[in-house]
Every structure is written in structure tokens, then in C-alpha cells.
Amino acid sequence: MHKDVLFTGSVDPVRPLPRDSETSEISPTRDYVLDELPADLAAVAQERMTLADLVDKQSGVLEQALPGISLLDDLAAARVAQLDLLFMLAGFSAFGVPGSETVPRLLTDTISGQCARFPELDPHMSYELLVDVNSEEWERHGRMRVFSEGETGRLERDFYLGHYLAEPKVRAAYRRICALLMEPDLAEPAVLLGGAHRQLDEFRLLMAQYGKLSKDSFNSFRRYHLGHPGGPRGASGAFMPSVQLLELVLLPPTEEYGVYLDQSMPYFPVWARPLIAEWRKRSGDGLNVTQAVLDGSLKLDQEAAGTLLRVIDKFTDFRMIHLGVTKKVIPDAFTGGDGLTRKEIAVQGEERNIMGGENPGTSGFDVRNVLTNSVYRLLTVRQEIQAFHDMTD
């Protein structure tokens, strides 16, 4: 639907749309975040405004907005208001670790107060707020929250919007694989796997567009999403939920992948957390395509078996694209430069520690190891399935 706008700069991030704009859904700090925050952050970065000036200005904005925030009684409206409050808070992250003297106390108190009123709200900038809620607001009102001005703001908008538009494709693939697992006697394996392959190809093509994003452009807004030592992890594409759901229905969770899931659970969208936990248990208990094929409970004819391998290959293609794009925009996280081809990853022998590393990604993990591990797992199960079918043909 919006594929043509990604990374083209063809649509301004502030674009009026003839869509509904009920006042109940308008955040009391929306106008400031949309119309002034990017310019204020640029002014601080260029030393035309001090952090103290920014604190004073935002404190004034919040004093005027508090009555409206206190009247919010709807979770959907509260999510949008929380998005704006967290955009204001994240704006300080590029200029040092937030502390009581460098962030409006009223801002942190308001965020905490909203979390107390609505326990479903994230107290930190999350993937769900930054990508899903933000993009839903863009579709509803034509306004996207960004930290940057001008052309960089358009690229930043496309970065968030691209994840939002691509994620349903991989979710559709996951649902097809679920149907294959849950009702194998009623399912048509070749048809379901063929549909999953097509959806994954569309997902891969959408995500490949991030290759157009330059290192400088990406890092100009990435700095607002970096977590702080001892604080929450940054909002990151690592927490796109349906990618994890697809992996769990395809193959059993390994020990190192379990570490990733344990650490990531508070950062997945709220709706996805119980579903990921459920499929993690099911998959660990053997309800996944790989084990179902290997133990004979899922019988695939030659056509379906070939399509399953193509599904795994397409998922691996996406993982390799993600690896390549990340290396391009965060090269410091890939010091050494070796071991990044499929052939090299396939023979690395084991998954590597994701909790170490001197150059973590936005999510706070060792980004190189997270990405190469994900490829390694897929290549390993592909080899197992291929060997099984070669033996049973």
C-alpha cells in the first residue's frame, strides 16, 4: 500500500489526511512533539539552545498539558499520549544519561503516573509505541513522530513505517505454519507452505529497502533509541514479534535463543508476549515443523518438502539481508569482518554469546552474535531436514 514511499523522501512526515481525528485520541502534547521537538533537538545539538533551556520549555509544555492528560480514560488514547511523553524523554538521550537535573522532573513523574493508571503502558520507548502506535497515528492523521528535521525526518519516518508495513507479511507466514502444525491431517502442506513462502518473499523485499538508508542518516536518529547503562533496552527492530513467532513454529528454541527471549520479553509488544511465551513452550516440547518432520508426525510429499526448504531459505535470505544492512549502518559492531558469509556461519559450530561484546546494537545485545546465531540456527535445521528427506526418498 505504501511501499513506494519508503526511503524516497516523496511524502512529507507532516501530511494532512482527510481521516477521522476524534479529539479523544489527540495527545495533549502532540502539537509540541510533532511541530517543535525536532527543531528543539537540532538547536541543542547545534548549541543554539542549552539542555537547561529545553528542560524549562518542556516543563512549561507539560504544565499546560497535565489537565488534559489527567482526563484520558481510554487505553488507546493513553498509548498515544505515552508515545509523546516518551519521545520527549528520549530526546535527552543523545545528550547524556538522563538525570534529575537534565530531564524535567514533571516529565518522569507524568510517565510514571500514566503507567500507574494504565498498567498496560510501557514505561520506556518500546517497539510497539515507536513503530505500531506511531504508524497507526500516521495512517489516521497523517502525522508521524520523528526526532529529526527535513530529509532526515522523512527517512526516519520511513524507518518506522517500513517495519510497520512489513511485519504483517511475516505474521501471515507464521499463521500458515501454525495451521500446518495444529491440524496436519486437514491441512494441505504444499499450499500452506507455498503461501508462507510468498509472504516471506514480500517481507524480505520490504526489509531489503533498508539497504538504501545511509549510515549517517540512520545513526542521526538511532542515538535517540540507545538504552542507558542499567536502564531499559532501546527500541529496536530486534523486538519485531512475528519474526520470533515464525522461528518458534519452524524450529525448537536453543539455549542461546532462550537467553535472547528471556531478555527480550518485556520489550515485545504487549499482545505478543503471551503468544511468544506459549509458542516457546510448545516448540520446546516438540511442536515445531523441524521436529514434526524428523519424528514423522508431519509427513510431506516431495513437493511440500521442497517448499519447506524454500521457506527456510527465504527466512535465511531475510536474516542475511538484516545482517548486511546492520553491518552497513553499524560497522563498529562487526570488527574483524570475517565469518559473515553463509558458508562461514554454517560451519561456526555453535551459537555465540549474545550478552557480551563492546559494540552492542540498539537492543543492547551483541548485534553480530544475535544476527549470525539466527542464520546459524536456520542453516542447521535446513541441513537436518534435507538429510532426512534424502535418506527417506
Question: What pLDDT digit, counting tens, does each position of 2-55 carry?
Answer: 444 566 544 444 444 434 444 445 899 999 999 999 999 999 999 999 999 999
3-state secondary structure of 14: strand
Q: Which three cell numbers stand for residue 79?
A: 498509548
pLDDT in tens, 221-275: 998 987 655 678 888 889 999 999 999 999 999 999 999 999 999 999 999 999 9
Average pLDDT for 172-179? 96
Nearest to 56 by CA among 93, 105, 96, 94: 105
Distance in angstroms between the alpha carbons of the first and the last residue of the chain: 43
Considering the entire predicted model, what is its pTM?
0.91
Q: Is 341 left (phi over 0), alpha (psi -120 to 50) or beta?
A: beta
pLDDT in tens, 95-151: 875 555 578 899 999 999 999 999 999 999 999 999 999 999 999 888 899 999 999
CB 171, CB 242: distance < 8 Å: yes
Query: What is the pLDDT, as a whole number, of residue 102?
Result: 73
Nearest to 351 by CA among 362, 363, 339, 359: 339
Residue recorded with cell 481525528: 21
